[in-house]
Amino acid sequence: MTTREPEARRTDPKGFVVRAVTMLAQLVIPLGVAAVTIFDDGGASAKIAWAMPFVILLILANLVIAYLQWTRLTYTVGDTDIRVESGVLARAARSVPYERIQDISLEQKLLPRLFGLVEVKFETGAGGKDDLSLTYLSEAEGERLRELVRERREGPAATLATDTAPDAGQRPAEAEVLFAMGPKRVLTFGLFEFSLVVVAVIGGLAQQLDFLLPFDLWDFDEWEQRLAGPGQYLSGLGPLAQFAGLLFALLTLAFVGVATGLVRTALREWNFRLERTAKGLRRRRGLLTRTDLVMPLHRVQALRLDTGFLRRHFGWHGLKIISLASDSGGANHDAVPFGRMEEIHPVVRTTGFSLPPEGTQWDRALKSYRTDKALLAALYLVPATIVAALLANNWLWIAPLAGLLFLLAEQYWRWKHDYRALGERQLYSRHGWFSPSLAIASRVKLQSVEIAQGPLAQMRGYASLHLGLAGGKLRVHGMPLSEARRWRDALAESMAGSDFSVLLEKKGAPAL
């Protein structure tokens, strides 16, 4: 009996409309620039009559290309892999085995969401062009495909074990909300996300489109002439009015920075929701672009707890999960972007990790390590300071000296505030005071441990420990060589004592 070949499917027909509208939207700026250039010398009526057929032809060509791209894009869900074929003139076929797929996430930008469509992203763990995506499927088909691929990857037995309750025939357990952010929390978060991105973007656009402006934006003589009248009036009001003008400019800049932070945060974190499901931690967020990501607990490799200079004084912290799967090109997933410690504790427990217990013994890097780092920096900056002082005719020679003083202060500051600790099940690395962060890694889930020593480190008797994680890397610097060897032996014993591949097959959070 021959096995029936799986049927190739097309994406949702409404995806053609989304593609066409997206391609037409990309023509707006080029057509606008072309219109300004063509109609700049007058004779608009004749030029419109001459250019309109070309514009219509360009629009129709984009519609035809979008339709052909939709008809030539197919996907096939096989027994061992998922295959995607695309291309109008040059055909391309991608085949990704299920065992290479780390996770499947759903993403909805604003326009596809209006049509009830999602983009299905298959994370292979390699990132870049090795990842695979399907645009666009219906929401129901996207969910069905995600569950089907996971079942093919993990096997029906594993899926049944995680999807059903202990008693046969019971319905899957409802999702438990671990953390959520309403509009008030998101806006509060945005107040701490000060950003001047808009100012930089406007400056960049002004530089690129300066031909549309009536004068050169960067001609300071031109600005001086245009502001001569208001400037003379302001100078006549005395120093107090000038100070008021400067203060108004700074407040305007601060307002732009706060507004930018609010908008960026709202777009990214709106309706943030983290749930514990049978498949792991499910995170959904976003206003215009809505993402839906599931992080299996057995793929959680490490945690990172961080905060900022201002927000820590108000008790706000953030928790990131370092996972095997990638989220928009990275391995760090926001689990609690902006929360209190009492809200973070349940999420940490759910992952199987724990925060450092009371009585943890913390150690600093050796003073000799920080001293050597400062001396190496001085080898470059001291000669630069001397040369600048001899050749420069102004105060610019202070710049390399200021850089040297900053690096010396940084090394002293890091010696005072960077710590490490090795627990029975986990290891900890704590950094910084201005924006402190804490990394927590499982001894069981480490992939490798390596002692690194340069020539200077060998002479001075210290070493660095390089710890390999499937989702990233962790470095511990400035350890005494004897302690580095003790850590290496203890971590190697932890890794050798647990078969990580068996832990993965269990599809649950292993004991850490």
* 312 Cβ contact partners less than 8 Å away, ≥ 6 residues apart: 436
**Tokens describing residue 41:** 């010398």
State what percent of residues in the chain have pLDDT above 70: 73
What mean pLDDT is predicted for residues 168-193?
80
- The predicted pLDDT at position 238 comes to 60
Q: What are phi and psi of 446, to 5 degrees?
A: -65, 140
- The residue among 124, 141, 171 that closes a domain is 171
- Co-location of 209 and 120 in the same domain: no
Please tell me the total count of domains within the chain: 3
State which of 245-249, 393-397, 505-509 shows the largest mean pLDDT. 245-249
Please name the residue ranges forming H helices in 352-480: 367-391, 398-417, 455-460
Mean pLDDT of the residues in the chain: 79
Strand order in the sheet with 132-138: 132-138, 117-123, 103-108, 290-295, 280-285, 273-277, 176-180
* Cα–Cα dist 301/108, whole Å: 27
Asked if pLDDT for residue 505 goes beyond 50, the answer is no
Domain interval for residue 403:
369-416
Q: Which helix (H) or strand (E) is 49 found in, with range?
A: helix 44-71
Total residues found in the chain within this entry = 512
* Single-letter amino acid code for the residue at 344: I
What mean pLDDT is predicted for residues 14-31?
78
- The predicted pLDDT at position 509 comes to 42
Cα dihedral across residues 243, 248, 253, 259: positive or negative: positive
- 108 beta partners: 290
* Cα–Cα dist 342/344, whole Å: 6
Pick the more confident residue, 366 or 170: 366
Please name the residue ranges forming H helices in 309-397: 341-351, 367-391
Identify which of 28, 6, 17, 48 has the alpha carbon closest to the alpha carbon of residue 136: 17
- The predicted pLDDT at position 507 comes to 46
What mean pLDDT is predicted for residues 210-222?
56
366 in helix, strand or coil?
Answer: coil
What confidence tier does 71 reach under pLDDT thresholds 50, 70, 90?
confident
Strands 300-306 and 317-327: antiparallel
| Domain membership flag for residue 115 | yes
- Co-location of 113 and 234 in the same domain: no
* Cα–Cα dist 400/507, whole Å: 54
- The predicted pLDDT at position 299 comes to 82
| Domain membership flag for residue 195 | yes
Pick the more confident residue, 98 or 421: 421
125: left (phi over 0), alpha (psi -120 to 50) or beta: left
- Co-location of 15 and 117 in the same domain: yes
Q: What is the CATH number of the domain that holds 87?
A: 2.30.29
pLDDT tens figures, 404-427: 888 888 889 999 999 999 999 999
pLDDT tens figures, 300-321: 889 999 999 899 999 999 999 9
- The predicted pLDDT at position 316 comes to 96
| Domain membership flag for residue 478 | no
- The residue among 107, 139, 171 that closes a domain is 171
Pick the more confident residue, 48 or 253: 253
Pick the more confident residue, 210 or 142: 142
- The predicted pLDDT at position 38 comes to 60
| Domain membership flag for residue 276 | no
How many helices and strands, by DSSP H and E, does the chain display?
A: 17, 21
Pick the more confident residue, 287 or 219: 287
- The predicted pLDDT at position 356 comes to 94
- Co-location of 39 and 166 in the same domain: yes
- 97 beta partners: 81
Identify which of 283, 326, 280, 321 has the alpha carbon closest to the alpha carbon of residue 304: 321
**Tokens describing residue 311:** 């927000």
**Tokens describing residue 152:** 């093919």
- Co-location of 151 and 212 in the same domain: no
| Domain membership flag for residue 249 | yes
- Co-location of 96 and 237 in the same domain: no
| Domain membership flag for residue 351 | no
* Cα–Cα dist 248/234, whole Å: 13
CB-based contacts of 468-473 (< 8 A; 24+ apart in sequence): 469/301, 469/302, 469/322, 469/441, 469/445, 470/125, 470/301, 470/324, 470/445, 471/299, 471/301, 471/302, 471/322, 471/323, 471/324, 471/331, 472/301, 472/302, 472/322, 472/331, 472/332
- The predicted pLDDT at position 437 comes to 94
Strand order in the sheet with 81-86: 9-10, 74-77, 81-86, 92-97
- Co-location of 46 and 104 in the same domain: yes
- Co-location of 20 and 167 in the same domain: yes
* Cα–Cα dist 408/130, whole Å: 43
- The predicted pLDDT at position 88 comes to 78
What confidence tier does 172 reach under pLDDT thresholds 50, 70, 90?
very low
* Cα–Cα dist 245/252, whole Å: 11
Pick the more confident residue, 236 or 377: 377
State pTM to two decimals: 0.76
- The predicted pLDDT at position 165 comes to 36
State what percent of residues in the chain have pLDDT above 90: 30
Inter-residue contact 306 to 437 (CB < 8 Å):
yes
| Domain membership flag for residue 145 | yes
- The residue among 216, 235, 268 that closes a domain is 268
Q: What DSSP state is assigned to residue 5?
A: P
- The predicted pLDDT at position 231 comes to 52
Pick the more confident residue, 437 or 135: 437
Pick the more confident residue, 384 or 212: 384
Q: Which of 88-92, 195-199, 506-510 has the lowest mean pLDDT?
A: 506-510
* Cα–Cα dist 51/382, whole Å: 63
Asked if pLDDT for residue 115 goes beyond 80, the answer is yes
Q: Which of 41-55, 72-86, 154-168 has the lowest mean pLDDT?
A: 154-168
- Co-location of 155 and 214 in the same domain: no
- Co-location of 37 and 155 in the same domain: yes
- Co-location of 49 and 131 in the same domain: yes
pLDDT tens figures, 488-501: 999 999 888 665 55
- Co-location of 157 and 17 in the same domain: yes
Strands 290-295 and 300-306: unpaired
Asked if pLDDT for residue 436 goes beyond 80, the answer is yes
| Domain membership flag for residue 47 | yes
pLDDT tens figures, 458-469: 999 999 999 987
pLDDT tens figures, 226-236: 555 555 555 55
Pick the more confident residue, 27 or 266: 266
